[in-house]
Amino acid sequence: MSGGDPTIVATDATGTVLSLRGVRRAFGEKVVLDGIDLDVAAHEVVALVGASGSGKSTLLRTVNLLEPIDDGVIRLRGDDVSDPRVDADAVRARIGVVFQHYNLFPHLSVLDNVALASRLVHRMPRRDAERRALELLASIGLAEHARAFPDRLSGGQQQRAAIVRAIATEPELLLLDEITSALDPELVGEVLALVRSLAEGGTTIVMATHEMAFAREVADRVVFLDGGRIIEAAPPAEFFGAPREARTREFLARYLTS
Ligand SMILES: Nc1ncnc2c1ncn2[C@@H]1O[C@H](COP(=O)(O)OP(=O)(O)OP(=O)(O)O)[C@@H](O)[C@H]1O
Ligand SMILES: [Mg+2]
């Protein structure tokens, strides 16, 4: 290694897309993220699991700079994005995000929703952005709904449109926060199928999920949060088949019996 910022060289060399060190976030007395260390490799799919209130959403929000951190460092491809002087919009342009609901702008057509991201982030001309958006929508079977407003689509269709909007800009990282938990059960499968195909295509994903079967099938690594701490992180076969920590076993037992 010679010249430049050694930290950046080091992280790029290992293919680390996202790196958190000692990330801490408290709301008043309540510590919600209590020293999170996490590295996510390029093309890796990480499932964040844990009880309600364990800090999954807060963790995702800190990465997208929607939540400030009180201590620690967050790096995206080696760049310290937790530096308060960072251009938050420039960082967010590198990250795709889909939440539980209200992802699409209701006053824009589905096509405009998808095209807008490319126009804003990559300054793509309208015509090119729309062509690309239409290709993406066609790839998920929504071409015929492109001109419709989001409220004319099913919840599953809306979430799939939100996912292609999030990847339209070819982000370095995709964050998914419980993207199926507001859906009717019969619509969950189509959304998960799209996530599966992105994962197979090499998209780097960090997803908070209650869908344990899906985490088991698609994730490369399952990260279990409890009280704002990572208690255990392991490949799914190990995590579900032979969890090391008592708290993981309790969590899984509760989950399986609920
Ligand atoms: N803005 C806030 N002000 C105060 N407390 C907050 C705030 N945001 C989150 N919290 C608290 O932080 C804790 C973690 O919340 P978070 O939403 O990250 O959990 P989660 O793991 O995503 O839960 P769920 O599975 O229900 O989505 C909760 O106790 C929550 O009440
Ligand atoms: Mg949450």
Over residues 15-67, the pLDDT tens digits come to 999 999 999 999 999 999 999 999 999 999 999 999 999 999 999 999 999 99
Q: What is the C-alpha to C-alpha distance for residues 179 and 190, in angstroms, rounded to an integer?
A: 12
In contact, 47 and 207? CB cutoff 8 Å: yes
Q: Crossing angle for the helix pair 110-121 and 126-139, nearest 10 degrees?
A: 130
How many A from CA of 71 to the centre of ligand 1?
18
Domains and CATH numbers, the chain: 6-257 (3.40.50.300)
Determine the pLDDT at residue 50. Answer: 97
Around 185, how many Cα atoms within 13 Å sit in the side-chain half-sphere?
A: 0
Q: Which residues pair with 98 in a beta bridge?
A: 176
Q: Is the pLDDT of residue 221 over 90?
A: yes
Least Cα distance to 116 among 95, 130, 101, 136 occurs for: 130
**Cα atoms found within 13 Å of the Cα of residue 167, Cβ hemisphere only:** 22
Cα-to-centroid distance, 177 and ligand 2 (Å): 7
What's residue 256's pLDDT?
Answer: 73
Residue 14 confidence class, pLDDT cut points 50, 70, 90:
low
Give 100 Cα–ligand 2 centroid separation in angstroms. 9
pLDDT at position 258 is 62
Contacts of 238 (CB under 8 A, 6+ apart): none
Mean pLDDT (whole number) for 6-16: 52
State pTM to two decimals. 0.92
100's tokens: 């539980």
Q: Whose CA is nearest to atom 4 of ligand 1?
A: 27
Ligand 1: nearest atom to the Cα of 51: 25
